Structure 1
Amino acid sequence: MIKSTAPTRIDLAGGTLDIWPLYLQFGNPPTLNAAINLYATVELTPRNDKKIFVESKDLLLQVKFNSLASLPEVHPLDLILKTLKYYQPKKGLNIVTSSEAPPGSGIGGSSALNIALNGALNAFTKKGLSKKKMLEVAMNIETQVISAPTGWQDYFPSLYGGVQSVRPGYDGVASVALPVSLQKLSESMVLCYTGNPRRSGINNWEVMKKVLDKDYAVTEKLKKIAQIAREMDKALTLGHMKKVTALFAREWEARKSLAPTISTPQINKLIAGGMKKGAQSAKVCGAGGGGCIAVMVPLKQRQSVVSELVRLNGRVIPFCFVQRGLRVQVT
């Protein structure tokens, strides 16, 4: 059996600008994120026949196909099936997938599952892909499945763990692991699920189109996000947590101005409630429109903030930042 696990992430600054060609329009700014201990898991067991059995515990779906050749072109489990077609396993197998992230949480659950799946199938087929190549395959398949532009950022923490500065360049996109105290970062943050899956608060294609059409308002807002990301990179590298906290607040102010759908009444209520009880800053995770919020709070006020978020019908999710990325175990 092969068991493959990959962490999800909390994005800290620079999201949306990890999408080609947006980063090229803004001087290749970094995107900052960090892996957390909510994992996507893929368990893969070989069969003695050609049949393929797939179970998604999150979607409560079980499907069986007679062979690789019989996989359909369109299916609710498209991401898994297209990845199977890419790796071309020579024999049948059972695949069971699950995720510890709530549905539509905005913490990169689908990308973590994608990386875990690539890790499992890469080991099963002995294809020998590097992590960099697996990342490219995962991103391209996900882009095809959702029929929309996707960014680079989510795959790096799932692959490598830790705090990542995802840095685009003219010759590709790389990442640098930042020397951040994961314990301090974990102690300073609370993760809260709003109770509603995100309905993408920002349409990447619309943002891209407006930038390429030279929309002044959108371009200026993204310039702010790019500058905040550069400052966040420096603050994290130097371990300046007060600066990180302040930049977290600025990121949210700039981000929610991009579209009225990024924040919601429930997000606003939870953030306001947390701030009232001593939180210092907060922002939505991912594209917004629901999902999770990340709240930065001093250790002394942590319990007061947690109690208030729960009172306001938020679901506080215990977590910590982790150094580990993709892990594939063969038994």
Structure 2
Amino acid sequence: MAGGTLDCWPLHLFVGDCVTVNLAINVMTGCELDFHAAPNIEIEIRDLNYKKNFADITSLLRCPDKELLLAQKILEYFVPKEGFVLTTFSQSPVGGGLGGSSSLCISLIKAFNKSNGRSMSTHEMVELAHNLEAKVIKSPTGTQDYFSAILRGLNIIHYKADGIKVEPVPYIPDIFSNNMILIYTGKSHHSGINNWQVIKSVIDGDERTISALKEIAQISAEMAIVCRQQAWDKLPELFRSEFDSRIKLTTSFSSPEIEKLRKIVMQEGAQAVKICGAGGGGCVFVWADPSRHEGITETCQKSGFQVIKMQPVKANQPF
């Protein structure tokens, strides 16, 4: 909801103590893992329509298919001794900015931990996941999406020099399900590219980028206060302010598809548009009075955009 990019080390160290605000939704990922005595391995990635058999783990790790990158990094870490059948799925569009790859990474870590009787704390899983995913995208990654996948609910995540702390916030799900529309622009994004551009600019001392990052940190701090106070009527103004600050951070945050969508929904009476993830494409959510939802949804679909059904997921709520 706010503060994305600040969760990429070492950016939060340049702006002082800061927070991100993250809401879990029921756009799901998951996996099934079944071991057997023989060394052969079967991998199925349903959302990518990918299925392949391998004689053993060595042949799997040597396979150049890009669809296998995340699974390969997971397997390099766990090094299973037996063969297995692994099936994964993700309901998030590829490059949707919903943290789908991060969520799937957590799903895989949980599955392999369970198979070998290993237990990890939340912070241990987050540390492992963001390091493995950095290997996949060959770029620094943030960490807030992993917390959402593990803990669910609405969380204020504090980033300080001495570590990360999570503050769960109670809320009524109807506030979000009644006002929020999730829309896929049809163009995927690459979070690693946008994040690296920002990190490089900050380290190079670019004053415009640093100033924009500080604005985002301030908006995120205000968002945290709004969530604690449940002053939900203040959300649209903060979403609009964050949009403006993110454009200053990197011009690639928006895209022609996002600008077209933004124009359409604002004409239909939306109050604000929030770009998900690192931007450049992917999903946005639209904040609007419930009376405007039907018109916004119909107009977006006629314009070629995909409306994704979603509901917020509270902490400890079964998926």
TM (norm. structure 2) is 0.94
- Correspondence 1:15 to 2:23: no
- Correspondence 1:72 to 2:54: no
State which drifts further: 37-46 or 308-317.
Answer: 308-317
Q: CA deviation at 1:326?
A: 9.8
State how far apart, in whole Å, the 2-side matches of 1:18 and 1:85 are: 26
- Correspondence 1:127 to 2:97: no
Query: Which of residues 30, 45, 51 in structure 2 aligns to 1:41?
Result: 30
State how far apart, in whole Å, the 2-side matches of 1:136 and 1:175 are: 14
Contact 2:194/2:279 (CA < 8 Å) preserved in 1?
A: no
Q: Could you say what secondary structure the match of 2:253 adopts?
A: coil
Q: CA deviation at 1:279?
A: 0.7
Contact 1:228/1:251 (CA < 8 Å) preserved in 2?
A: yes
- Name the structure 2 match of 1:240: 231
State how far apart, in whole Å, the 1-side matches of 2:180 and 2:15 are: 29
Note closer, same or farther for the CA distance 1:92–1:139 as it changes in structure 2 (3 Å cut): same
Contact 1:210/1:218 (CA < 8 Å) preserved in 2?
A: yes
- Correspondence 1:261 to 2:252: yes
- Correspondence 1:164 to 2:149: no
- Name the structure 1 match of 2:13: 24
Q: CA deviation at 1:200?
A: 4.5
Q: Could you say what secondary structure the match of 1:203 adopts?
A: helix
State how far apart, in whole Å, the 1-side matches of 2:71 and 2:249 are: 32
Query: Which of residues 284, 290, 293 in structure 2 aligns to 1:299?
Result: 290
- Correspondence 1:101 to 2:80: no
State how far apart, in whole Å, the 1-side matches of 2:294 and 2:192 are: 29
Contact 1:49/1:91 (CA < 8 Å) preserved in 2?
A: yes
Q: Could you say what secondary structure the match of 1:72 adopts?
A: helix
Which structure: greater helix fraction?
2
Q: CA deviation at 1:248?
A: 1.0
- Name the structure 2 match of 1:230: 221
Q: CA deviation at 1:260?
A: 2.3
Q: CA deviation at 1:70?
A: 4.2
Query: What amino acid is aligned across from residue 198 of structure 1 in structure 2?
Result: H
Q: Could you say what secondary structure the match of 1:105 adopts?
A: coil
Q: Could you say what secondary structure the match of 2:251 adopts?
A: coil
State which drifts further: 90-99 or 229-238.
Answer: 90-99
Contact 2:41/2:57 (CA < 8 Å) preserved in 1?
A: yes
- Name the structure 2 match of 1:58: 47
Identity %: 38
Query: What amino acid is aligned across from residue 310 of structure 2 in structure 1?
Result: F
State how far apart, in whole Å, the 1-side matches of 2:101 and 2:211 are: 30
State how far apart, in whole Å, the 2-side matches of 1:87 and 1:224 are: 41
Q: CA deviation at 1:190?
A: 0.4
Query: What amino acid is aligned across from residue 10 of structure 2 in structure 1?
Result: P
- Name the structure 2 match of 1:4: none
- Name the structure 2 match of 1:8: none
State how far apart, in whole Å, the 2-side matches of 1:154 and 1:72 are: 26
Contact 2:139/2:192 (CA < 8 Å) preserved in 1?
A: no
Please give the per-residue CA displacement for 1:228-280, whole angstroms capped at 9, x wherever unaligned: 00000110111011112210111111112222222122211111111111110
Q: CA deviation at 1:62?
A: 2.1
Contact 1:55/1:95 (CA < 8 Å) preserved in 2?
A: yes
Q: CA deviation at 1:176?
A: 1.4
Q: Could you say what secondary structure the match of 1:64 adopts?
A: strand
Query: What amino acid is aligned across from residue 159 of structure 2 in structure 1?
Result: P
State how far apart, in whole Å, the 2-side matches of 1:149 and 1:326 are: 31
State how far apart, in whole Å, the 2-side matches of 1:61 and 1:297 are: 38
What residue ranges of structure 2 are gaps of 5+ in the alignment?
A: none
Contact 2:194/2:252 (CA < 8 Å) preserved in 1?
A: no
Contact 2:253/2:280 (CA < 8 Å) preserved in 1?
A: yes
Q: CA deviation at 1:178?
A: 1.2
Please give the per-residue CA displacement for 1:117-174, whole angstroms capped at 9, x wherever unaligned: 1111110111222232122111110011211010111101100101111111222212
Moved over 6 A (4+): 325-328
State which drifts further: 228-237 or 59-68.
Answer: 59-68
State how far apart, in whole Å, the 2-side matches of 1:127 and 1:183 are: 37
State how far apart, in whole Å, the 2-side matches of 1:325 and 1:93 are: 30
Query: What amino acid is aligned across from residue 205 of structure 1 in structure 2?
Result: W
Query: Which of residues 153, 157, 167 in structure 2 aligns to 1:176?
Result: 167
Query: Which of residues 76, 80, 83 in structure 1 aligns to 2:74?
Result: 83
Q: How large is the Cα RMSD of the aligned pairs?
A: 1.9
